[in-house]
Structure 1
Amino acid sequence: MAAPATRAFRSRFLRRFKATAVVLAVASGFLLIQGSAGYANPSPAPGDIEAQIDQTWNTLEPMIEKYNAVHGQYTAMQAKVNALKAQIAPLQLQVDLAMTRVGAISAQAYMFGPGSKLNALMQGSDPAQFVDELTTLDQIARREAATVSDVAKLRDQYEVQKKPLDDALATLQQQNDDLSAQKTTIEAKIKQLDSMRLAAYGNGQGTGSLRPVTCPQVYTGDRGSRAAQFACQQIGKRYVWAADGPNTYDCSGLTEAGWRSVGVSLPHNALEQKYATPRVAVGDLRPGDLVFYYSDVHHVVIYVGNGWVVSAPTFGIPVEMQKIDMSRYNSAGRPG
């Protein structure tokens, strides 16, 4: 058995150890709490969000191409159906006329047909008249049967021609609707990411008067957005006549280089770029569209969204953002 002094020492040691352990545990917990409270997940950087947009666009673009193909097939099939309907319309008219004739014969047979005529003949006494009436009834029956047969053939012919087209249209319609729904969902996601991107940029991403707001203003990851983004990245570089990068640009050299960065070739001339692109209404402008100025089209800028463009203006003024100038506006085009 341990001595009383030994037991007392052990008791004091255990009490001190427990107290020390409690103090350490509390201190550790405080540090953990402080560490947790002091840590904050940083918001995604604009570049990271743009990378997500690019990745989402890479999912959307093949779907859009598939949608375009299916929609094109659907439109072409619809045109075929309409053309066939135009050819079948006279056939349907014949069907309707034949059915009308059948109805008339049936009514005639009901009023004056075999039953009533036979009753009349049974009451008559002229054998020759009886034979003639039977012959007439037989001819009416034959004509009625032939008419019904013709109607059936016409109806069958109509259905045979129409059914495979109706089936194909139904299949294409379903594919078209499914792809359209998926496309709408992904476009909504891109729009949400672009809103996050603008929020992440905030109002502090300007470069003085050259870039007063976020550039591009709209970014969806498509080729137009990427061409606009390229132009935004050139802001601040010097204007040099006939230059198309990488360190200096003139107006058409900037737009040509922007679209070249996404694999689309354009001539290095504002007027020729107008001729090389289909027209776009001002209300339908999208990032990457080209906006042409002056009646002789001697200046071109690239649209970056929300009424803003990027321009390589003239000697002594570097590449900069501007609001679209409708006083100089000529037209707009969409490369690609």
Structure 2
Amino acid sequence: MAPRRVLTALHTVAFAAIAGITALMATVAPAYADPTPAPADIEAQILDKWSAVEPIIEKYNEVHGQLAANKAKADKLQTQLMPLQLQVDVAMARVGDIASGVYKGGRGSALNAVLTSGTPTSLVEQLTLLNMIARTQQDQIRDVTAARDKFAGDKRALDNLIAQQARQDADLAAKKKVIEDQIAQLQRLRQQAYGSSGATGVLKPVACPVEYTGGPGGVAAQKACSLIGKPYVWAAAGPNAYDCSGLTMVAWQAAGVRMDHLAASQRRQSKSVSRDQLRTGDLVYFGSDTHHIGIYVGGGWMVHAPHSGDYVRMVQLTGYYARNASGYGRPGG
């Protein structure tokens, strides 16, 4: 074949190959496209995932708090047992001395008492006195022993409870890796939605509180508003980070109302109110198991600690939050 004809043929093949590749790319490229998900869709996924994770966190808070409280009770009972045991030991030693004297004296001591007392009446008086002393010692021992046995019984029951709670605590601690993995997934979702900076939008879009009413509720709301921007850390209650129930607990502590670091307990410790009765400082509950909680700040807004990777922020009680609110409460009656 002539050189010119060979070159023309090669050009024809090259153009055909390029045209084929271009057509292939046109059909394949859409299959590999990876459009950035809408932030609203990612936020919805995050909230759904966190609704599944948060009950485990709240359960950990509950068990860990109970375990710490019961250990403190056990220590207190132990300090109460020590002096009681000492009293029993001293009383038993005294009775032992009396019993030892009577045993060593035997029947001869009674005869000797008759010979030396002068009259049988003196002997009766001496024996009666001895009997009274013995009875007093027995009564003292009985009272102290009863108190000691009660405390010992209480401590045994408490020790058994502590052992049970320690097993629960260890079981929940073993789930820490699972929780942390889920938290990492949530953070990746946030980065996917907002970029590597993990931006979370405006934390305080309006004045906070929106409505200031004074009283304990107003104080609690102001405290919550002052914590906007603090990072979420599960099981944290300040001063540098908070989870949802840690935030509301600290907010109401500022108003002089003490509550447990547990969303479900805070619900039980508050008076139930309806949505149309909400006023500044009231609590907003989420989930039938009350695994999340926020504090109402007026105007249809609440402040809460949402989830890992986020910060204490204001949100409106609309959309997701309106649909998933399971109740409302007012601490302190």
Shared fold (TM-score greater than 0.5)?
A: no
Give the alignment's TM-score, normalised by structure 2. Answer: 0.38
Give the alignment's TM-score, normalised by structure 1. Answer: 0.38
